[in-house]
Amino acid sequence: MTATNKVKNLQPRLMNYFAKLVATKKLAHAYLFAGPEGAGKRELAVWIAQGIYCEHAAAGRPCLECSECHRIAAGNQPDVVYVAPDGLSIKVEQIRFLKDEFSKSGVESNKKVFIIENAEKMTVSAANSLLKFLEEPSGQVVAFLLTTQPAALLPTIVSRCQLFELQPLSARQLTALLEAENVPREKAVLLGRLTNSLERARQLAQAPVFDKLSGSVCQWYLHILQNDWRCFVEVQTKLMAEVTNKEDEKILLDLLLLLGKDSLELTNGEKESAFKKYQTRFAEQLAGISSARVAEGTELFLQTLYLLRINVSFQNTIEALTLKLCRCYHG
């Protein structure tokens, strides 16, 4: 799937808005796109840049087929320059480089676009250097600053830009996008509930441990709901055996929190579980447990976050959770 298909689904309203500005040549010279990871900030900026240079643009919308569109998508168009943090920050040398690029003669047209990712990571000197640039735009420059944390940018920078807040994706939108990328429906539904970032969902979809771990955690939880002692064994033989690093721990933790939330929602009449394969079996078991106890169980899932934050070991936390859930549901 191309970046543009993504934007088409993600931000149709903003795409219409910017296509008109491109077509009427009324783009301002600095925009700030703020929004969570995966909301399509970069894709939108790239799409607008493609609209500016495309050989067959129609009403400001790029064709996505021509060489200009391809070069921009690949980062090979000299008039469209990307800047991203070099290590932890965007340094003043990077902004100076940007200015030099733009002052060079022989670039391919008068119009220039730059896209600064994680703009909040600019050092103060980089931000000040950019500020001068924004104040005296040389020629026709359009700047797109992208950030997840607009509050972390210098106010002087923000005030030079038009701010657009990109909304996070809904679970339904995310599920549909994943299905369009051939992720099976069951998994797409689960991922859509687990995160609101398309990037994170894609990462998880490809993580080798994900399918195994999501299956094991459901089986473990079903045994807890059934008051089956095998849940205690499974902490060791399944969950801990499958989790091999911090990233796996994070995936397991996210799945646990979702199980807690999902149980409460199923008890409260939600029709579609995030865990489709187990939905019927979960619902059957939960029907035999009072809603007060289910709510208490959800609290126990949330407590794992606290325990991990105060450095209780991961395995101890999961073992304690297993015991507490069994007592809560069946005690």
Residues of the shown chain interacting with Zn ion in the complex, contacts defined by CB under 5 A:
54, 62-63, 66, 69
C-alpha pair distances (Å), 149 with each of 34, 49, 52, 88:
7, 23, 27, 15
State the CB neighbour count (10 A cutoff) for residue 224: 25
Burial of 11 (0-12, 13-18, 19+ CB in 10 A): buried
Shortest Cβ 46–Zn ion spacing (Å): 12
Phi and psi angles of residue 117, each rounded to the nearest 5 degrees, phi first: -85, 150
Which residue, 69 or 251, is less far from Zn ion as judged by CB? 69
CB-CB neighbours of 121 under 10 Å: 21
Q: How far apart are CA 291 and CA 267, in angstroms?
A: 6
Whose Cβ is closer to Zn ion: residue 54's or residue 198's?
Answer: 54
Of the pair 74, 151, the CB lying nearest Zn ion is at: 74
Q: How far is the CB of 325 from Zn ion (least distance, A)?
A: 55
Q: Which helix (H) or strand (E) holds 32?
A: strand 30-34
Name, in order, each residue with C-beta under 8 angstroms of 188's C-beta and a sequence gap of 6 or more. 174, 175, 176, 178, 179
Nearer to Zn ion (CB atom), residue 69 or residue 264: 69
**Sheet order of strands, 30-34 included:** 80-83, 111-116, 140-147, 30-34, 162-165
* Closer CB to Zn ion, 62 or 297, in the complex: 62
Nearer to Zn ion, 21 or 154 (CB): 21
What's the min distance (Å) between Cβ of 146 and Zn ion? 22
At its nearest, how many Å lie between Zn ion and the CB of residue 77? 11
State which residue has the least CB distance to Zn ion.
Answer: 54
Q: Closer CB to Zn ion, residue 65 or residue 199? A: 65
Smallest separation, CB 72 to Zn ion (Å):
9
At 139, give phi and psi (nearest 5°). 75, -155
Residues in the chain: 331
Residue 31: CB minimum distance to Zn ion, A: 21
Report d(CA 290, CA 295) in Å as an integer.
9
